[in-house]
Amino acid sequence: METDLKARAEAAVPKFKLLKVLNQDQAGRRVSLHGTIDNEPAVMVVERATFPSSEVYLAGLPSSLSRLRNLGANDIYAWSMARTGPVESEVKPDGDNGHENGVDFFADLKINLIYPCTEAHVKKYSKQGVRFVTETPEIYKNHIRPFMQQKREQGRLNWVFNIIEGRTEVEDVIYRTKLGEAGDEGFLLLPDLNWDRKTLEGLHLLALVERRDIWSLRDLKKKHIPWLQHIKSKVVSATTQTYPSIEENQLKLYVHYQPTYYHFHIHIVHVALEAGATQATGKAVGLDSILETLKVMGGDDEAGMDALSMSYTLGEASELWTDIFEPLKTSGAASR
């Protein structure tokens, strides 16, 4: 009986005839379809399966791609959309298929490439334990701030400056003030490399500010409130003008702490984008929450976020853990 049911289920799937797409969620990774099988109504939910752990399969995956379309490249970073199925199986639609120039290309993979990578990249993307740490104002001043400065001086921000100064990703910029003419108000808006640039409910943009004196949210002070409010207003306006089907209250703005790189930037995502690790507590801090914190903070205009204790998660392979927090924990000085 069980064998018969399995055989019936497997035979039914190829006979599914689509009537309507009901929903897309998980940033486009799952789709719900309404259709018929043998003239009977049916609902089919299709979700991208997890990758096999077989090294034999994964070793052959890059060379087996039938198509690859680069979305952008900057310094050692590149990101592309790819197709694993045969090109011959693609069917060119009668109307616009959502791709540039109506090109007949349906991707089922998004690939981010870092080449050549560093040992730090290898550690970042390796499976590792996670710790929840508290960074006091003293730890920030004595350990984290010098760490940030060291990373900036190592040229870790060259790719960011390439974007800001218009040397790379020029065609990707959605909105920007004229370079060098807006002073502290200058910024640009472009797609995050993790967005496929097509699924609006998976929208993920970055706002990079031109000014270089703000490395992270730790540098924000009460005197920056008008500046933050202005940037927020311009970012939201630029996003909704570019994507008219999205309304202001469908956007969520946040910053990371610790950020991946030490140049102030704001993440803009669709509220329907399911929160993964990058939006979780211990990583993402809402822009509105930062503004409200600054507004109620005591002191003069120089009072700021560097006076607070910040708690967040760290991978055990990260330099912040191995070089700072683990030694502090071992020495019993984690609160200093």
Q: Cα 277 vs. chain centroid, distance in angstroms?
A: 10
The pairs formed by 236-242 with CB atoms below 8 angstroms and a separation of 24 or more are 236/268, 238/174, 238/175, 238/189, 239/174, 239/189, 239/203, 239/205, 239/268, 241/175, 242/174, 242/175
Give the predicted TM-score (pTM) of the model: 0.78
Identified catalytic residue from 204, 224, 256, 265: 265
Phi, psi of 186 (to 5 degrees): -70, 140
The pairs formed by 148-155 with CB atoms below 8 angstroms and a separation of 24 or more are 148/215, 148/216, 148/262, 151/261, 151/262, 152/215, 152/262
pLDDT at 110: 84
The two three-digit tokens of residue 74, written as one number: 């900057």
- In CATH, the number for domain 137-308 is 3.30.428.10
Specify whether the CB–CB gap between 162 and 74 falls below 8 A: yes
Which of 190, 266, 272, 258 has the alpha carbon at shortest distance from 227? 266
Domain definitions of the chain by residue range: 17-50, 55-114, 137-308
Specify whether the CB–CB gap between 175 and 206 falls below 8 A: no
Q: How far is the C-alpha of 207 from the C-alpha of 108, rounded, in Å?
A: 27
The segments of the chain whose pLDDT lies below 50 read 96-103, 335-336
The two three-digit tokens of residue 267, written as one number: 């993440």
3-class DSSP state for residue 113? strand
Say which DSSP state 291 is in.
H
Q: 224 catalytic, yes or no?
A: no
